């Protein structure tokens, strides 16, 4: 499918990465000042933090070869030049320190002999490793534009091998900020080998498609895509400063790693590399690498200078914190003693075996403590609603004092609740929580029990004045859902979210609160979502496509059609599927040979997308020779007639009445 261009707007609109989606058309809303309670809370935290520890800043600056020129610096969407050493009252001091640290990434850096990184053009780093014949690129950023410009900048400033071509490309894992720039490299070097972890193409699609519409909408909140960069808006992306502008692309690997063994050693452009399979932790498909002759560990995204998401707020499946801890332990014992440098897809490197071992040990123990203490608490009867609060008391001071274990991307609070959910599910066994009322009906009864809008609002004002923002938010959410025209309650709810944002250490929490506040005040934006690229969607097999179509089936409409069956032959590879609509459900199975069916459709994937997208009719495709149908020609149309279209902009908070 290389080079095919196709926009699959009718099939699915999804986010395919656990990163951010930003827009250039931002709402010009300026937030309110921090309250005295927020100032006091942030100041109290600041007193506990060791700001004299500047080691991470020294590491970030080490090895700088060239600062960005204007064209390269312009790749990022947001302008964070407002960041200064003085911490504003409207930002959690720990998060602000992380924002300052990420702001220092600004050019081409030498990691060690033969390894260089471009840091600061995107959420992730582009790494260049000197091979025998050229440069091996490790992770190629989010967009093809960022990848192409970053490579151009690197080749113009490298102290060695500027004339060498790119000889290979490696994807560390299945998140788009690590493969999305593929075509920016392949357009220049089209025939290079591509290496990727086992199941990467499958996991790129599987992790996001079925719940893609909901995940896309939720991502706007988690990543603050409708917020301005400012002391009262978005200040950081936790893993880096932000996202590049451009198009996400993808090309399948030509060599899949770790298909036979979890530890595989191969030569990539003459360089020996050891690839360790680490799936199911930070990503469902991921591997880390050791380069023996350089004594260098590449940790992909298993480590960065902060704690990652075990549960990600946008809604991906919960990750395995215990496996995560064990993978880091495996790296520590395999390579920790002899390694001289550790570098990764985000943040700056760590140099020296002692510092590497200390870093890995703290990272390992952080995820281990998080997992084990969550299990201890839940086995002691602590409920889901409480476990996020209590987990903070279990974190040893040695971990708290280490900046690189702090909850900038994932927080202890929501990660603990995610782990609880992974083991025990959403229900805490309290009978009152087994079958609660719907959100709307519950809101109605809350307001009724509390005496109506006026006494609720009066009490909420008093609690707000005392800094009780969490409960004010809980109660006013009920009131505003019942009475969305109550502007006074709406704006007080927004004010509560805003103060909670200013207190949040986690970038995602800050963005969720601020986006909620913004939508309460001015409504939502309808240009903030970013669809998956055609490259990614074209990796889906026909079975996966019909799995997604099944999610769009309205069972009430489908049930009226009775039982319908369809044989489908994919002309691209000859694969055969039996598709059945019955009992309001759409199922499919891949078969070796065709079976009896109401109709048989032979079609290519691109032609099928054109049909779904209503770009071409079945008659047009058949006349052009791109499709053929035998049997009842109405079957496919009857199946598709039961599909619904998703609202990409469904409300999350009660929106203002126009």
pLDDT tens profile 1-37 = 333 333 343 344 344 443 333 444 455 578 999 999 9
Closest CA to 15 of 460, 536, 391: 536
State whether 498 and 552 are in the same domain.
no
Residue 476 domain boundaries: 432-522
Within a domain: 128: no
Residue 371 CB-density burial (10 A; 0-12 exposed, 13-18 middle, 19+ buried): buried
Provide the CATH number for the domain around residue 569. 3.30.1050.10
Which two tokens mark 185? 């490299």
Residue 241, strand partner residues: none
**631 and 544 fall within a common domain:** yes
Question: Are residue 492 and residue 563 in the same domain, yes or no?
Answer: no
Q: Within this chain, do residues 542 and 630 fall inside the same structural domain, yes or no?
A: yes
Who contacts 312 (Cβ-Cβ below 8 Å, separation ≥6)? 18, 222, 319, 410, 508
Residue 420 lies in a domain: no
pLDDT above 80 for 398: yes
- The answer to whether residue 48 scores a pLDDT higher than 50 is yes
What the block records as the tokens of 505 is: 């250490």
pLDDT at 542: 94
- Separation CA 143–CA 6 (nearest Å): 17
Do 437 and 473 sit in the same domain of this protein? yes
Q: Are residues 628 and 547 in the same domain?
A: yes
Asked if residue 472 is part of any domain, the answer here is yes
Which one of 465, 498, 522 terminates a domain?
522
| Average pLDDT of span 131-142 | 97
Are residues 452 and 482 both part of a single domain? yes
Query: Can you give the pTM of this predicted structure?
Result: 0.94
Q: What is the pLDDT of residues 644-654, one digit of tens each?
A: 999 989 999 99
- State how beta strands 599-603 and 627-631 pair: antiparallel
Residue 243 lies in a domain: no
pLDDT, tens digit, 9 for 90 and up, residues 298-329:
999 999 999 999 999 999 889 999 999 999 99
Whether residues 486 and 548 share a domain: the answer is no
Tally the domains of the chain: 2
With respect to residue 81, please indicate whether it lies within any of the assigned structural domains. no
Same domain, 518 and 570: no
3-class secondary structure per residue, 571-589: CCCCCEEEEEEECCEEEEE
Q: What is the mean pLDDT of residues 327-349?
A: 98
My answer on whether 477 and 558 are in the same domain is: no
Token look-up 């935290």 returns 45
User: Is 198 contained in some domain?
Assistant: no
Q: Provide the 3-class DSSP secondary structure of residue 126.
A: strand
3-class secondary structure, 402: coil
Indicate whether 633 and 592 sit together in one domain: yes
Tell me, what CATH number does 447's domain have?
1.25.40.880
Both 633 and 558 in one domain: the answer is yes
In a domain, 370, yes or no: no
Q: Is residue 609 a contact partner of residue 11, using CB atoms and an 8 Å limit? A: yes
Residue 73 in any domain: the answer is no
pLDDT recorded at residue 510: 98
Tokens 């020129």 identify what position?
Answer: 69
**85-101: pLDDT as tens digits:** 899 999 999 999 999 99
pLDDT band at 532 (very low <50, low <70, confident <90, very high): low
């Amino acid at each position: 499918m290389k080079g095919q261009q196709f926009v699959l707007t009718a099939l699915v609109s999804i986010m395919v990465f656990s990163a951010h989606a930003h827009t250039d058309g931002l709402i010009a809303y300026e937030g309110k000042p921090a309250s005295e309670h927020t100032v006091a809370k942030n100041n109290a935290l600041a007193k506990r933090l060791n700001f004299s520890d500047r080691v991470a800043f020294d590491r970030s600056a080490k090895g700088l070869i060239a600062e960005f020129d204007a064209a390269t610096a312009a790749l990022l969407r947001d302008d964070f030049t407002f960041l200064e050493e003085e911490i504003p009252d409207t930002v959690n001091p720990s998060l602000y320190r992380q924002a300052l640290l990420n702001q220092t990434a600004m050019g081409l850096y030498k990691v060690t002999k033969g390894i260089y990184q471009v840091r600061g053009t995107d959420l992730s780093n582009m790494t260049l490793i000197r091979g025998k014949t050229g440069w091996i690129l490790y992770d190629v950023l989010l967009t093809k534009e960022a990848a192409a410009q970053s490579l151009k900048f690197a080749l113009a400033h490298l102290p060695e091998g500027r004339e060498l071509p790119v000889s290979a490309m490696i994807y560390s894992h299945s998140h788009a900020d690590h493969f999305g720039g593929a075509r920016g490299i392949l357009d220049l070097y089209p025939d290079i080998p591509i290496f990727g972890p086992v199941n990467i193409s499958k996991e790129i699609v599987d992790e996001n498609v079925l719940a893609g519409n909901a995940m896309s909408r939720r991502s706007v909140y988690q990543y603050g895509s409708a917020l301005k960069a400012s002391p009262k808006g978005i200040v950081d992306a936790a893993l880096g400063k932000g996202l590049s502008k451009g198009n996400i692309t993808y090309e399948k690997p030509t060599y899949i790693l770790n298909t036979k063994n979890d530890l595989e050693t191969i030569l990539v452009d003459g360089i020996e590399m050891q690839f360790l399979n680490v799936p199911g932790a930070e990503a469902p498909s991921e591997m880390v690498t050791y380069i023996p002759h350089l004594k260098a560990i590449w940790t992909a995204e298993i480590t960065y200078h902060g704690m990652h998401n075990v549960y990600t707020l946008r809604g991906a499946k919960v990750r395995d914190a215990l496996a995560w801890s064990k993978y880091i332990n495996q790296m520590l014992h395999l390579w920790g003693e002899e390694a001289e440098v550790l570098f990764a897809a985000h943040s700056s490197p760590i140099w020296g075996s002692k510092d590497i071992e200390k870093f890995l040990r703290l990272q390992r123990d952080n995820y281990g403590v998080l997992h084990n203490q969550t299990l201890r608490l839940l086995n002691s009867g602590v409920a889901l609603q409480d476990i996020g609060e209590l987990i903070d008391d279990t974190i040893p001071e040695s971990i708290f004092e280490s900046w690189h274990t702090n909850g900038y991307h994932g927080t202890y609070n929501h990660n603990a609740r995610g782990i609880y959910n992974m083991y025990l599910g959403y229900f805490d066994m309290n009978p009152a929580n087994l079958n609660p009322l719907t959100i709307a009906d519950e809101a109605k009864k809350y307001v009724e029990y509390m005496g109506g809008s006026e006494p609720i609002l009066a009490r909420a004002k008093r609690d707000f004045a005392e800094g009780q923002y969490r409960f004010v938010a809980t109660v006013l959410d009920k009131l505003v859902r019942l009475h969305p025209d109550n502007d006074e309650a709406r704006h007080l709810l927004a004010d509560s979210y805003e103060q909670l944002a200013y207190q949040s250490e986690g970038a995602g929490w800050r963005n969720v609160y601020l986006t909620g506040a913004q939508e309460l005040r001015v409504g939502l934006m309808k240009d903030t979502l970013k669809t998956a690229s055609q490259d990614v969607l074209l990796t889906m097999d026909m079975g996966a496509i019909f799995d997604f179509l099944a999610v769009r089936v309205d069972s009430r409409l489908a049930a009226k059609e009775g039982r319908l069956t369809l044989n489908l032959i994919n002309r691209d590879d000859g694969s055969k599927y039996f598709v059945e609509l019955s009992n309001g459900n759409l199922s499919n199975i891949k078969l070796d040979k065709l079976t009896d069916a109401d109709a048989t459709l032979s079609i290519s994937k691109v032609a099928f997308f054109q049909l779904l997208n209503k770009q071409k009719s079945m008659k047009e495709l058949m006349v052009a020779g791109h499709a053929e149908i035998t049997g009842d020609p109405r079957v496919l149309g009857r199946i598709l007639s039961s599909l619904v279209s998703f609202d990409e902009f469904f409300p999350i908070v009660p929106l203002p009445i126009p």
